[in-house]
Amino acid sequence: MAHISLENELPGIRGLLAFRKQVAKPMLELADAILQAPSDLSKGDRELIGAYMSHLNKCNFCHQSHAAAAAHHYGDSFEIIKAVKENIDTAPISDKLKALLNITAHLQKGGKYVTEKDIADARMHGATDIEIHDTILIGAVFCMFNRYVDGLNTWSPLEEEPYIEMGKRMADQGYMRDETKKLFGIKD
């Protein structure tokens, strides 16, 4: 049960955005900007960074929903997500993405834990300054989202199944889709 009365039955961040509709538009626009807008990083890689940060923060709703979006971008396969959670070093991803996820792991502890060595390693594996910037931004935003969701103790389904369709919608339609705008009363 949430720490406050949300007056709705929506899970995770959706329940919070429905409760405080005035924050829905800027938060969803931010999610769209970091996860959907053109970038040097693929949409799948950006969703994976968000899902990985959420996994490290133990935020079930954010991890499950963004893992499902990443899986959809990766051909509807959860194998990469599972492999990253088990061991980044042996996961079937590029060395560049491994280095960026290493930055994500250090950022999860705090910004000062990201070192020059982390940045140099990412550059050595081909990461651009934009990719490094976007990794840090995605990780930082997800720390905020995770703390928002878990700090108010929102509910989330424990099983993976409800997240699969949610992840597909997020991956295919983004975060400012018509259905979402209507739900949260967002006007263009």
Report if residue 30 sits inside a domain. Answer: no
Q: What percent of the chain has pLDDT over 70?
A: 100
pTM above 0.85, yes or no: yes
- Token readout for 64 is 């499950």
Report if residue 19 sits inside a domain. Answer: no
In this model, does residue 132 exceed pLDDT 90?
A: yes
Tell me what pLDDT residue 160 has. Answer: 86
Confidence tier at 61 by pLDDT (50, 70, 90): very high
Where residue 140 sits, what CATH number does that domain have? Answer: 1.20.1290.10
Confidence tier at 188 by pLDDT (50, 70, 90): confident
Tell me what pLDDT residue 184 has. Answer: 92
Structural domain span for residue 47: 41-184
**The total number of structural domains that make up the chain:** 1
